[in-house]
């Protein structure tokens, strides 16, 4: 393919994406294909000779689109949002066009330095403490990771290495393997699965402590666990708190957790994968309480800040703790500005060596939408969730199970779990909207999350009508079934009676 053909294919692809996104409401949110649907539709080997791009674009509609779950549809209400925006898509295209791998400054100075700039812009936008800024004199700073999971793992690995070094200094009589065997990390039972996975990957015990009844993880719980573990000879390393848990978007009590972490010199990391964007809103200022006392935190721009997946911001109070833990050098990686004092080589802040030029899409998105536009989108999500919550509360057949938080409403049909399970099953079968179930203390509930590229109040009305009419239908069917069951019971009594009569007659 030459540049001329690329221009044609590329322009057609942009039209393709714009048409898709403009008309996204026409699609059922969930695909209607069965597992393995794609395999027989495609050849077993790549084509030997080149094919024309119009054919390929046609095939995208024919074989790929039927297997797409439409995440950018406003009828998506599952998980948390992953909102894209047009400027972010353009940023992806240009960054990919440069085709760079920016693991060190010399590999593309603009990649590293733009990342420092946008991470500082973002930190200021979110009102984070100054010590997280690159422009501050201290050792802190921000980096773009691929995911919240990677950010958490980096924090756990760095905390582990720092703890091992400290213990070796304090206890030279202990072997390194003895020390490693005693390390322990903490989070709550409401934290995302990636926290437990980080424990597995980092080979460190991860204790998931029970959150309080209101689903909040507090310092008192952490303190009890640490006291018990220290008495048993274990070495507490890191605590991972969550602002915006995946189940109900609960916010852990960072202040009280920070007090315990400071007392025991335990690294405190905050996973704010979804809720972090709300730090930017004055009305959510409460969420920022205690952030000046944490060692690191992460937040996904690809959730509700309109930067396309993947883009996860991570800040560390002291980058030396990370760089010292992961700095593995080779002669071919060296360059004359690699002393790390002025400009970081971000490969030392992450797991892979190679890194994408993600900062470009962030920069283009921030400039195109402005801080005002980003705040407006988050406020829109909150308003739409309030609209949905009102509808739930106005219908006596439903109940809200946790306080609405940002763009998430957790609710259920009153009564036993079976009704909520049936409702979710039915909604999934109809594919008009998509929600996932969750459970707490034996109570099943549904999570209604505001998602999609451009959700509107009419989309919330659509979703609510779908939910409440399906509940009405389930109740009506249950009544018919109950009546039928009643009739059958009557009939069987009747039958039993007849049989008895026959037997009596025969006798
Ligand atoms: N943490 C929280 C609170 C989440 O809700 C999620 C995903 O939704 C994650 C972590 C994992 O995010 P990622 O897919 O970026 O690893």
Which ligand 1 atom minimizes the distance to the CA of 275? Answer: 3
Contacts of 365 (CB under 8 A, 6+ apart): 85, 87, 88, 91, 305, 306, 307
Q: How far is the CA of 92 from the centre of ligand 1 (A)?
A: 21
Cα–Cα distance measured from residue 171 to residue 456, given in angstroms and rounded to the nearest whole number: 60
Q: Is 312 in the pocket of ligand 1 (CB under 6 A)?
A: yes
**Residue position matching structure tokens 């009747």:** 494
- Ligand 1 pocket, 301 CB below 6 A? no
Give 211-214's long-range contacts (Cβ < 8 A, gap of 24+). 211/250, 211/252, 214/250
Low-confidence ranges of the chain (pLDDT < 70): 329-341, 487-507
Helices 319-326 and 148-170: crossing angle, nearest 10°?
Answer: 80
Residue 149 CA to ligand 1 center (angstroms) comes to 6
pLDDT of 262: 97
464 in Cβ contact with 62 (< 8 Å): no
DSSP 8-state symbol, 61: I
Residue 240: strand, helix, or coil: strand
Break the chain down into helix, strand, coil percent, rounded to 5: 55, 15, 35
C-alpha–C-alpha distance, residues 113 and 119, integer Å? 10
HSE-CB at 18 with a 13 A cutoff on CA atoms is 9
- For residue 409, what are its two tokens? 């409403």
The model's pTM:
0.90
Structure token digits, residue 92: 């992806």
Residues labelled as active-site residues = 192
State the helix-helix crossing angle for 148-170 and 193-201, rounded to 10 degrees: 40
Task: Quote the crossing angle between the two packed helices 359-394 and 109-125, to the nearest 10°.
Answer: 30
Our answer on whether the CB atom of 304 is closer than 6 Å to any ligand 1 atom is no
How far is residue 65's CA from residue 434's CA, in Å, rounded to a whole number?
A: 17
Token code pair at residue 248: 């109900």
Contacts of 482 (CB under 8 A, 6+ apart): none
Closest residue (by CA) to atom 5 of ligand 1?
246
Residues in the chain: 507
Answer whether 299 contacts ligand 1 (Cβ < 6 A).
no
Name the strand (E) or helix (H) holding 184. Answer: strand 183-188
Q: Is the CB of 274 under 6 A from ligand 1?
A: yes
């Amino acid at each position: 393919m030459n540049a001329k053909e690329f221009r044609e294919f590329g322009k057609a692809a942009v039209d393709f994406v714009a048409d898709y996104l403009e008309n996204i409401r026409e699609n059922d949110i969930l695909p209607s294909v069965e597992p393995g649907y794609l395999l027989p539709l495609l050849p077993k080997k790549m084509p030997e000779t080149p094919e024309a791009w119009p054919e390929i674009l046609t095939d995208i509609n024919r074989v790929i689109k039927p297997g797409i779950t439409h995440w950018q549809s406003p009828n998506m209400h599952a998980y948390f949002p992953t909102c894209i925006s047009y400027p972010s898509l353009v940023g992806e295209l240009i960054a990919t066009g440069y085709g760079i791998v920016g693991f060190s400054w010399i590999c593309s100075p603009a990649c590293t330095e733009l990342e420092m700039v946008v991470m500082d812009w973002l930190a200021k936008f979110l009102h984070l403490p100054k010590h997280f800024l690159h422009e501050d004199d201290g050792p802190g700073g921000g980096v773009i990771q691929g995911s919240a999971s990677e950010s958490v793992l980096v924090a756990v690995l760095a905390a582990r290495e720092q703890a091992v070094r400290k213990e070796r200094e304090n206890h030279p009589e202990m072997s390194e393997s003895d020390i490693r065997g005693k390390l322990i990390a903490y989070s709550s039972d409401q934290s995302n699965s990636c926290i437990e996975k980080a424990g597995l990957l980092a080979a460190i015990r991860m204790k998931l402590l029970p959150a309080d009844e209101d689903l909040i993880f507090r310092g008192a719980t952490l303190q009890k666990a640490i006291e018990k573990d220290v008495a048993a000879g274990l070495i507490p390393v890191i605590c991972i708190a969550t602002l915006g848990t995946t189940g109900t978007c609960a916010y852990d009590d960072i202040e009280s957790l920070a007090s315990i972490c400071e007392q025991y010199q335990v690294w405190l990391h905050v996973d704010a994968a979804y809720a972090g964007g709300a730090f930017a809103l004055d009305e959510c200022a409460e969420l920022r309480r205690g952030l000046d006392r944490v060692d690191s935190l992460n937040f996904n721009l690809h959730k509700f800040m309109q930067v396309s997946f993947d883009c996860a911001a991570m800040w560390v109070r002291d980058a030396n703790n990370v760089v010292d833990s992961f700095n593995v050098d080779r002669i071919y990686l060296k360059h004359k500005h690699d002393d790390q004092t002025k400009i970081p080589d971000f490969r030392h802040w992450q797991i892979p060596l190679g890194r994408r030029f993600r900062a470009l899409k962030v920069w283009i998105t921030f400039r195109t939408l402005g801080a005002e536009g980003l705040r407006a989108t988050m406020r829109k999500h909150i308003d739409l969730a309030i609209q949905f919550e009102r509808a739930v509360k106005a219908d006596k057949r439903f109940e809200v199970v946790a306080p609405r938080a940002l763009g998430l409403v957790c609710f259920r049909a009153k009564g036993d779990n079976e009704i909520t399970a049936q409702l979710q099953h039915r909604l999934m079968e109809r594919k008009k909207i998509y929600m996932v179930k969750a459970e707490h203390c034996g109570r099943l509930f549904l999570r209604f999350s505001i998602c999609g590229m451009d959700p509107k109040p009419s989309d919330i009305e659509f979703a609510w009508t779908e939910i409440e009419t399906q509940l009405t239908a389930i109740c009506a069917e249950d009544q018919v079934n109950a009546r039928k069951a009643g009739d059958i019971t009557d009939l069987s009594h009747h039958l039993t009676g007849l049989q008895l009569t026959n037997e009596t007659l025969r006798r």
